[in-house]
Amino acid sequence: MLFIKNTVKTLFDVTPSNISEAILTSDEPLVLKGFGSDWPIVKAAQQSNEQAVKYLKKMEKGIAINACYLEAKEQGRIFYNDDMSGFNFQTKTQILSDVLTEILEQANAKVPKTIYIGSTSIKQILPSLVEETLASPLLSNAIYNIWLGNKSKVAAHFDFLQNLACCVVGKRRFTLFPPDQIKNLYCGPLDKAPGGQPISMVDFDQPDFEKYPKFKAAIDTAMVVELEAGDAILLPSMWFHHVEGLGDLNVLLNHWWRTSPAYMGNPTDTLHHAILSIRDLPKAQRNAWKHLFDHYVFEHDKDNFNHIINSAKSILDSPLNELQARSLRANLQNKLRR
C-alpha cells in the first residue's frame, strides 16, 4: 500500500436536497460525508450485506448484464493478461440476482475469486433505484451507472466527464492524481484498456520503482480517501482515480455529466486525430502546430480576433452555437472520409 500524505477536502451536511452547482462544477476533488446516508439502500447495507442484496434483488428486472470474473491469483486487480493481448478476466452474461448471490458465496470461500460489474446503467437494470437515489435535480439528465463486486482494484484512469460517485454498500478507497501527472503514471495503450479508458500500468500494491521511477513524483501529488456507505466523492473532469473495493460486497452509484454542450464533441477524438496527423511530423512542424493550437485553443482569447468583423468570424466565433458546431462536425466528417 502506498504512503500518501495528502487527503481530500471533506464537506459535511451536503445532501441531495441542498447540493449546489458550485460543488458539482468544482475543479478540485471533494468528499461529501454522509451525502446519501438517508437512502434506503444505504440503510439496508448498514444492517448487513445480505440485507443490501435482498433490497437490490427485489427491484431488479432480470435483464442480462456483463460480469467480470478474476481468479484469486489476480488479487482483485482488473488488468491485462501477461502479454497484453487481452485481459486477465473472463466475462459472463448473467442477471444481477445471480451475480449478487455469487458474491455473497465468495465471502465464505477459502480462496475467494473476484466478481465485478462495472459501469452498468441503473435505469436499465434497477429503474426504481433511480428515484430513490437521485443525487440532485441538477443531475436529472446525467448518465447514471452502478458498479459492484467484492474486493477489487481498478487501475488509475481519467474520465472526460464530471463525476459524482456515491458509495452505498461496503467501502471504497480512492487514490487521486491531478491531470498533469499523466507524465508520471505510465499509462498503457490509448485504444485498448479493460474499461475503455487508458490505465496506469503501475501496480499500486507493489510498485516497481526501477521500471516506473517517475511514479515516485506522482505519489507526492496524490490524495487518498476511504468512503463508507453513504459517502460521496466529486471527481472533476480528467482527474486520475485508482479505485479499490475493500469489502466483501461493494456497491457504487455514479452520475456522469459534461459541463459543456454535447454538440461540442469529445476531446478524445481530437487527441486521436492529432496522433494521426501531427505526432509524427518533423519536430519543426510539430512546434509550429503547437503554436497554432495554443493560439486557437489552449490560450484562446476572443480579443485575438477583434480585427475580423463579426459576420466573418465563422468558427472563430466563441462559444460556437449548436448550428455552427453541427456544420463544423459535418465538414470534419466529410474530410475524414477522404
Question: Which one, of 250, 235, 312, 310, lies nearest residue 76 by Cα?
Answer: 250
Which stretch of 8-22, 184-198, 298-312 has the lowest confidence by average pLDDT? Answer: 298-312
Residue 259 to residues 142, 237, 255, 264, Cα–Cα distance (Å): 11, 9, 13, 11
What are the tens digits of pLDDT across the range 199-232? 999 999 999 999 999 999 999 999 999 999 999 9
What are the tens digits of pLDDT across the range 258-312? 999 989 999 999 999 999 999 999 999 999 999 999 999 999 998 889 999 999 9
CB 56 within 8 A of CB 100: yes
Alpha-carbon span 313 to 307, nearest angstrom: 10
What are the tens digits of pLDDT across the range 33-44? 999 999 999 999
Q: What integer is the mean pLDDT of 21-36?
A: 98
Write out the three cell numbers for 224.
487518498
| Chain CA centroid to CA 280, Å | 30
22 band by pLDDT with thresholds 50, 70 and 90: very high
How many other β-carbons are positioned within 10 Å of the β-carbon of residue 137?
A: 9
Q: What integer is the mean pLDDT of 178-204?
A: 98
**How high is the pLDDT of residue 222?**
98
**How high is the pLDDT of residue 302?**
87
Instruction: For 14, list phi and psi in degrees, rounded to 5.
Output: -95, 125
Question: CATH 2.60.120.10: does it fit domain 6-259?
Answer: yes
Please state, for a pLDDT cut of 70, what percent of the chain lies above it: 100
- Which strands sit side by side in the sheet containing 143-149, from one edge to the other? 10-11, 30-32, 232-235, 162-169, 250-257, 143-149, 114-121, 64-70, 90-95
Alpha-carbon span 279 to 289, nearest angstrom: 10
CB 171 within 8 A of CB 246: yes
The domain locations on the chain are 6-259, 263-336
